[in-house]
Amino acid sequence: MRRADLAGHRRHRFGSTSETMDQLELALEEEEIAEAKIEPPAPPDTAAEPKNKPKRKPLPDRLPRNEEVLSPGDACGECGGTLKTLGEDITEELEYVPGRFVVNRFVRPRMACPCCEAICQAPLPSRPIERGRPGPGLLAHVLVNKYADHNLLLIGDLSRFYYR
């Protein structure tokens, strides 16, 4: 029980003063002091794990991949200086081409201008679900199949009703 819970419980049940609640509060303080004396466990070693570790499983390696590099250009938009590559962001999108699945990889290099110290990167193309993995072809395939399956079930039910 925490202090806020204890205070709310005390007001609700006994009014503003109560000896039993005061005793509970003293016991709570003693527990907190005892917990403070115990040394907290050492934090896990975060140096081994990257900060931005992906939460999702990667798309299977067996799927064919189409790679597209989206570059912001070779010259800085502000001062016109040449850009140097700092790193890159890779976004994978699962797409459905009739009869097979394909992974579209969008590679976006991060570029920096040594003159004005500006950093630029090309934007991602518009996507049907922001930060989602399905591509527009996959979503269209799923929606059409759901509609078609529903109609087939409906037609099957109607044919059974009319052809008896």
**Digit-coded pLDDT (tens) for 70-104:** 888 888 877 877 888 888 888 889 998 888 899 99
Domain shared by 31 and 80, yes or no: no
Confidence of residue 43 (pLDDT cuts 50, 70, 90): low
Domain-embedded: residue 46: no
122 and 73 in a common domain: yes
Whether residue 47 is contained in a domain is answered as: no
Asked if the structure places residue 54 within a domain, the reply is no
Could you give the number of structural domains in the chain? 2
What the block records as the tokens of 122 is 């090309």
What does the mean pLDDT of the chain come to?
A: 77
Nearest-angstrom CA–CA distance, 17 and 10: 8
Residues 139 and 69 in one domain: yes
Q: What angle do CA 115, 119, 120 make, to 5 degrees?
A: 120
What the block records as the tokens of 150 is: 């529903």
